[in-house]
Amino acid sequence: MSKVLIIGAGGVASVTVKKCARLPELFDEIYLASRTISKCEALQKEVGIDRVKAVFAVDADSAAQVTALIQKVQPDLVVNLALPYQDLPIMDACLATKTDYLDTANYEPKDVAKFEYSWQWAYQDRFKEAGIMALLGSGFDPGVTNVYTAYAAKHYFDEIHYLDIVDCNGGDHGQAFATNFNPEINIREITQVGKYFENGEWKETPPLSVREDLDYQNIGVRASYLMFHEELESIVKHFPSLKRARFWMTFGDAYLNHLKVLEGIGMTSITPIDFQGQQIVPLEFLKAVLPNPGSLAQGYTGQTCIGTYVTGIKDGQEKTIFIYNNCSHSACYEEVGAQAVSYTTGVPAMIGAALMLNKTWHKPGVWNMEQFDPDPFMDMLNEHGLAWHVIKCESPFK
Ligand SMILES: NC(=O)c1ccc[n+]([C@@H]2O[C@H](COP(=O)([O-])OP(=O)(O)OC[C@H]3O[C@@H](n4cnc5c(N)ncnc54)[C@H](O)[C@@H]3O)[C@@H](O)[C@H]2O)c1
Ligand SMILES: N[C@@H](CCCCN[C@@H](CCC(=O)O)C(=O)O)C(=O)O
């Protein structure tokens, strides 16, 4: 018997709730909370009130509000699918109530576009002492890409040396410009300075200035740009044999042109400005005028390909493998009414929660995904809609 409290009711949460609701033996009571209660009510109605027991309004920026809610619901696990800004208050509330915690994105302060694990890793001793667990980054990237890396290291190599994570959305939603998950978080992420790890140090590149044209399975060749992505930080820590680790994401010319104009005119800035006597943050305003990512799902064609190239040594020989998933936007829409970016994040959140609740992945402390045995997670990916493939190949990078 287990109870889960899911915080957030956006695109990702909608997928996670629907997937959890199909596994009553693991998630027999689901509770939903978000800032806007009407979104929780709509999701509860869609899923069925027998599965989502109750909904609540909560401001998860307030640890006190989340603590009071956890005390009321008494869940075994809190799944944080709100925004990265809420990670620390929710972790504080989990500590205060001795409740397990899971999220899909690492903490970033609202007023500085910077994400790193230091803030959440700082909870390690307190979580251990309280006998509770936090699982960080149980989405696709971070999340599945960390598990792919651990799986490659466990089953294919004696030592891993080079890692390239690639994220391609080869879909078409028909809009001039839209992001596939929370626009504010997404745009903060992709406009940052690029960063990769090489020979023991982090190297920086101007934003989206390094490009490779990569051939993606069942999609074709797409321009891919080097970016910093949060899983690089934990993976290089937990696999010290890595000589280099990089992350690449595809962007079309139309997307980049829109982004350039928006940046050029200051619309992606997070510095508040005075607008008719009111302080507004341009990026928050931009979010308000862009399409809601959830609304892109209907009619979305094409698919994603996200995967991990790993090069290393096995029995004295160097080799490269690619582990990847293809996810079709229309298949996700048919199954759960979502697009593939929400789906590829929402399913791994459900899987991480399931493995914590059935104690397959459970130990007190604060952990990243690659620190657990990857096999049960990889099995569940195949069972729950994110089938993966492994191919032996040449490294596609120059
Ligand atoms: N790891 C991955 O692969 C990956 C990929 C995409 C998104 N994500 C993460 O998933 C999370 C959810 O993304 P999404 O696209 O569903 O976003 P969304 O904007 O659609 O949904 C966020 C939800 O959080 C709620 N929320 C915001 N502030 C809140 C507060 N103070 N208190 C309570 N609720 C609050 C919103 O009302 C909304 O329901 C984000 O953290 C995002 O960074 C991870
Ligand atoms: N899994 C990704 C999701 C974002 C996909 C971003 N790619 C852009 C490309 C858009 C385009 O080129 O038209 C997208 O919004 O899909 C993550 O972790 O951040």
Tell me: the pLDDT tens digits for 163-191?
A: 999 999 999 999 999 998 888 888 988 88
pLDDT for the residue 178: 93
In the prediction, which pLDDT does 97 show? 98
**Predicted local confidence at residue 356, as pLDDT:** 98
Q: What is the mean pLDDT of the chain?
A: 96
What pLDDT was estimated at residue 381? Answer: 98
Question: Residue 318: which of 243, 369, 229 has the closest Cα?
Answer: 243
Q: Where do the structural domains in the chain lie, given as residue ranges?
A: 144-335
Residue 227 has pLDDT above 80, yes or no: yes
Span 71-76, average pLDDT: 98
- Gap between the Cα atoms of 328 and 172, Å rounded: 11
CA–centroid distance, residue 328 to ligand 2 (Å):
14
- Which atom number of ligand 1 is nearest to the Cα of residue 138? 1
The reported pLDDT for the residue numbered 49 is 80
Give the whole-number percent of the chain exceeding pLDDT 70.
Answer: 100
CB of 75 within 6 A of ligand 1: the answer is no
* pLDDT at residue 184, rounded to an integer: 85
Q: Do 205 and 90 touch, CB atoms closer than 8 A?
A: no
Nearest ligand 2 atom to the CA of 344 is 1
Banded pLDDT at 82 (limits 50, 70, 90): very high
**Closest ligand 2 atom to Cα of 256:** 12
pLDDT value, residue 152: 98
Residue 26 has pLDDT above 90, yes or no: yes
- Within 10 angstroms of residue 209's Cβ, the number of other Cβ atoms is 10
Is the shortest distance between the CB of 34 and ligand 1 below 6 Å?
Answer: yes
Name the residue with tokens 């004295």: 316
Q: Using a 6 Å cutoff on CB, does residue 325 contact ligand 2? A: no
Stronger pLDDT, 307 or 295, i.e. the higher one: 307
Specify the pLDDT at position 110.
86
Report whether residue 310 contacts ligand 2, using a CB cutoff of 6 Å.
Answer: no
Q: How many residues does the chain have?
A: 398
C-alpha angle 22-26-29 in degrees, rounded to nearest 5? 80
Q: Per the structure block, which two tokens stand in for 252?
A: 């079309």
**pLDDT (average), residues 300-323:** 98
> Is 361 near ligand 2, meaning CB less than 6 Å away?
no
**What gap in Å lies between CA 76 and CA 74, rounded to an integer?**
7
38 contacts: CB under 8 Å, gap ≥ 6: none
CB distance 177 to ligand 2 below 6 Å = no
Q: Provide ipTM, 2 decimals.
A: 0.93
How many of the other CB atoms lie within 10 Å of CB of 371? 17
Give yes or no for a cis peptide into 183 (omega within 30° of 0): no
pLDDT, residue 14, reads 97
Rounded CA-CA distance 211/218 in Å is 21
Task: Judge whether residue 113 has pLDDT over 80.
Answer: no
Q: Does the beta carbon of 80 sit less than 6 angstroms from any atom of ligand 2?
A: no
The answer to which of 49-53, 71-75, 223-227, 275-279 has the lowest mean pLDDT is 49-53
CB count, 10 Å around CB of 288? Answer: 11
Amino acid 183: pLDDT: 86
Find out if CATH 3.40.50.1000 is the number for domain 144-335: no
Of 112-121, 242-251, 271-280, which gets the smallest average pLDDT? 112-121
Distance of CA 208 to the CA centre of its chain: 20
More confident residue, 238 or 292: 238
- Of 90-99, 235-244, 248-257, 348-357, which range is least confident? 248-257
227 CB within 6 A, ligand 2: no
What does the pLDDT look like over 126-168, one tens digit per residue?
999 999 999 999 999 999 999 999 999 999 999 999 999 999 9
Task: State the pLDDT confidence band at 43, using cuts at 50, 70 and 90.
Answer: very high
Ligand 2 centroid to residue 180 C-alpha, Å = 6
* Ligand 1 closest atom vs CA 104: 1
In the predicted structure, residue 18 carries a pLDDT above the cut 80: yes
Are 222 and 216 in contact by the 8 Å Cβ rule? The answer is yes
Measure 250 CA to ligand 2 centroid, in angstroms.
Answer: 7
| Amino acid at site 47 | V
pLDDT in tens, 315-360: 999 999 999 999 999 999 999 999 999 999 999 999 999 999 999 9
pLDDT average, residue stretch 241-266: 95
pTM given for the model: 0.96
